[in-house]
Amino acid sequence: MRILLLTHAFNSLTQRLAAELNERGHETSVEFDIADSVTEEAVALFQPALIIAPYLRRAIPESVWSRHVCLIVHPGIVGDRGPSALDWAIANQETQWGVTVLQAQAEMDAGPVWASATFAMRDAKKSSLYRHEVTQAASEAVLRAVQRFESGDFVPQAQASMAARGCTRALMTQAERRIDWARDDSATVLRKIHAADGFPGVADSLFGQPCHLFDAWPEATLRGTPGAVIARRETALLRATVDGAVWIGHVKREGSIKLPATLAFEPQAQAIAEAPLEGYWRVKTPTWQDISYAENGAVGSLHFEFYNGAMSTQQCERLRAALVWAKQRPTTVLLLLGGGDFWSNGIHLNVIEAASLSAGSAADESWRNINAMNDLALELIGTEAQITIAALGGNSGAGGCFLARACDQVWVREAVLLNPHYKNMGNLYGSEYWTYSLPRRVGLDAARAIMHKREPLTARHALEIGFSDACLAGNVPAFRAEVAQRAAALASAPDLPAQLVDKRETRARDEARKPLAVYREEELAQMRRNFYGFDPSYHVARHHFVNKSPASWTPRHLARHRDLNWKANA
Residues near ligand COA (CB under 6 A): 11-12, 198-199, 258, 308-310, 345-350, 395, 397-399, 419, 422, 424-425, 428
Q: List phi, psi (to 5°) of 99.
A: -130, 135
**Smallest separation, CB 520 to ligand COA (Å):** 15
- The Cα 108–Cα 60 span in angstroms is 9
**Smallest separation, CB 201 to ligand COA (Å):** 9
**CB-based contact 212:252 (threshold 8 Å):** yes
Q: Which is nearer to ligand COA, 215 or 219 (CB)?
A: 215
**Smallest separation, CB 293 to ligand COA (Å):** 24
Q: Which is nearer to ligand COA, 272 or 352 (CB)?
A: 352
**Smallest separation, CB 252 to ligand COA (Å):** 8
**Smallest separation, CB 112 to ligand COA (Å):** 29
Q: Which is nearer to ligand COA, 31 or 184 (CB)?
A: 31
- The Cα 77–Cα 164 span in angstroms is 8
Q: Which is nearer to ligand COA, 499 or 537 (CB)?
A: 537
**Smallest separation, CB 200 to ligand COA (Å):** 10
Q: Which is nearer to ligand COA, 81 or 258 (CB)?
A: 258
The enclosing H or E element of 464 equals helix 459-464
Q: Which is nearer to ligand COA, 172 or 425 (CB)?
A: 425
- The Cα 100–Cα 118 span in angstroms is 9
**Smallest separation, CB 523 to ligand COA (Å):** 12
Q: Which is nearer to ligand COA, 287 or 345 (CB)?
A: 345
335 beta partners = 301, 389
Length of the chain, in residues? 570
Q: Which is nearer to ligand COA, 88 or 531 (CB)?
A: 531
* Rama region for 118: left / alpha / beta (φ>0; ψ in -120 to 50; rest): beta
**CB-based contact 212:177 (threshold 8 Å):** no
Q: Is 427 exposed, middle or buried (0-12, 13-18, 19+ CB in 10 A)?
A: middle
**Smallest separation, CB 421 to ligand COA (Å):** 9
For every residue of 175-240, DSSP letters joined together read: HHH---TTT--HHHHHHHHHTTTTTT-EEEEETTEEEEEEEEEEESS---STT-EEEEETTEEEEE
